[in-house]
Amino acid sequence: MPHPVVVPAGPRTGSLRIVHLGLGAFHRAHQAVYLERYRQRSGDTSWGICSANLRSSIALVDGLREAGHRYHVAQFTDSETVTLREIGVIEEALFTGKDRLTGRDGQGRWGRDLEALLARLAAPETRIVTLTVTEKGYFLNPASGMLLADDPMIAADIAAPEAPRTAPGILVAALARRRARGIAPFTVLSCDNMPDNGRCARHAVVQLAERQDATLAGWIEREGAFPSSMVDGIVPAMTEADFARLSALGIDDPNAVVAEAYLQWVVEDDFPLGRPDWTADGVVMVADVAPFEAMKLRLLNASHSLLAYLGAPEGIETVYEAVSRDDLRTLLRHYMLEEAAPTLVMPEGTDLETYAESLLARFANDSLRHRLHQIAMDGSQKLPQRWLIGTSARREKGWGSPCIALGLAGWIRYTAGRDTRGNTYVVDDPLAARFADLHARHGQAPEALVSAFLAMDDVVPSALAADADFAEAVLAAYRRLTEQGLDAALAHLT
């Protein structure tokens, strides 16, 4: 039966003061929803979004164009309660990744809409550039924060700064144009799941600019604003079942997104060129986002990763299925309340126990099919901030971290690419080749395998890796998990 739809505030305005890099499901169901709410409430349509996909989704970009840049978001509280919205704030969609459909060599060409994007970024009306390019899209070493100058993508941007492929490269090229024309830099607002994500964005951009032009780098460092922000909202990849479910509600939209109803956005208030006055729409403006980010990464995202690496190899498919198990729910409670809690200074007014319980309730949302393999992606980029900062803090106090030790054992097992029934799966991670090599070399020797993983100093802080007690705990957990199975490993822990 058709379900009522909240429709966009008004017609397209062409006033695109926000440019987004990383047009994907999360952006469509989070930042765009906040701006849509803002436009509807305030009637101010001067803030619209030009959104660019830099990597893989040419079909999404073209699909949005065909649909007149309108799409739907279905926000589910549970399988019974849904709000359907049509979103109209993304008024332009661009694609700068590799277009596999063209090019005589069949390899595709880069940068179809790159010039349009750079022109848009360099235009004086562009005030804010938001980013959801994932952790690896910053091209920083997760442990040291240094630019990965030898990465082939970054090397290509250094060699050809006017034809950039990466987000930092695109930002540097656009800022160079602005500087040359005497236009102040836009504010760069990172919306990726990293502590100090604004500082990460600044580092990536300034370090890349230094490779090209020290004066430009100095100007960006001096004049640029890079506030940090914490974003929250669970947006699983769409499945056929999701499209069918929406169809039953009267929505046949290939660009639709299913998400949970919960949304949070906490932003540092540093916007020299202005911003939408969006606090009445739920955006929380603060001076320092760090406590919010640490809370979310070490409670929500860390729990997600625990479920992913322990659950996926057991054939558990989704977060919902995982938290339906008593022992995994107990693990998460134990981890959040006993292990993570003492490492956190919670934001004022937020109670840790209430927050932890609300996370378990969100994970138990039966209307979302949030696949554990989706969360397991890019562990090398995610684990430092989700698990290892807190674990290092505990180590400094002489405390162990049994839940994270088991999590790491699960991660090492996961990266073998084979589940407990012998089925293989793709390990999607920038370090996947290194993982495969370690498993090939040490797969039969748990001790050597665990120490080789802990020795990856771009993932595991060296002080933690050098702690014999911690290494011993990970090894014991790995043995228990692989020899006795998950049930026994969890029973031992809790």
Q: Which residues here bind ligand CS2, judged by CB under 6 A?
A: 193, 232-234, 300-301, 304, 374-375, 382
User: Residue 258 CB, nearest distance to ligand CS2 (Å)?
Assistant: 13
Residue 92 vs 135, nearer CB to ligand CS2 = 135
Residue 75 identity: Q
User: Residue 300 CB, nearest distance to ligand CS2 (Å)?
Assistant: 6
Residue 304 vs 480, nearer CB to ligand CS2 = 304
Q: Edge-to-edge strands of the sheet including 283-286?
A: 229-232, 264-268, 283-286
Cα 32 to the chain's mean position, in Å? 16
User: Residue 420 CB, nearest distance to ligand CS2 (Å)?
Assistant: 22
User: Residue 367 CB, nearest distance to ligand CS2 (Å)?
Assistant: 15
Q: Are 16 and 51 a contacting pair, CB within 8 Å?
A: no
| Nearest CA among 283, 276, 189, 265 for reference residue 9 | 276
Residue 50 vs 300, nearer CB to ligand CS2 = 300
Three-state SS letters, 309-330: HHHHHHCCCEHHHHHCCHHHHH
The DSSP bridge pattern shows strands 71-78 and 81-87 to be: antiparallel
Residue whose Cβ sits closest to ligand CS2: 304
CA distance 487 to 65: 49
Residue 121 vs 295, nearer CB to ligand CS2 = 295
Q: Are 9 and 40 a contacting pair, CB within 8 Å?
A: yes
Residue 179 vs 304, nearer CB to ligand CS2 = 304
Residue 190 vs 193, nearer CB to ligand CS2 = 193
User: Residue 26 CB, nearest distance to ligand CS2 (Å)?
Assistant: 7
Residue 252 vs 428, nearer CB to ligand CS2 = 428
Please list the residues that pair with 72 across neighbouring strands: 86
Residue 373 identity: H
Q: Indicate the length of the chain as a whole number.
A: 494
User: Residue 414 CB, nearest distance to ligand CS2 (Å)?
Assistant: 13
Residue 207 vs 415, nearer CB to ligand CS2 = 415
User: Residue 428 CB, nearest distance to ligand CS2 (Å)?
Assistant: 11
User: Residue 2 CB, nearest distance to ligand CS2 (Å)?
Assistant: 29
Residue 202 vs 304, nearer CB to ligand CS2 = 304
User: Residue 378 CB, nearest distance to ligand CS2 (Å)?
Assistant: 8
Residue 168 vs 233, nearer CB to ligand CS2 = 233
User: Residue 130 CB, nearest distance to ligand CS2 (Å)?
Assistant: 15
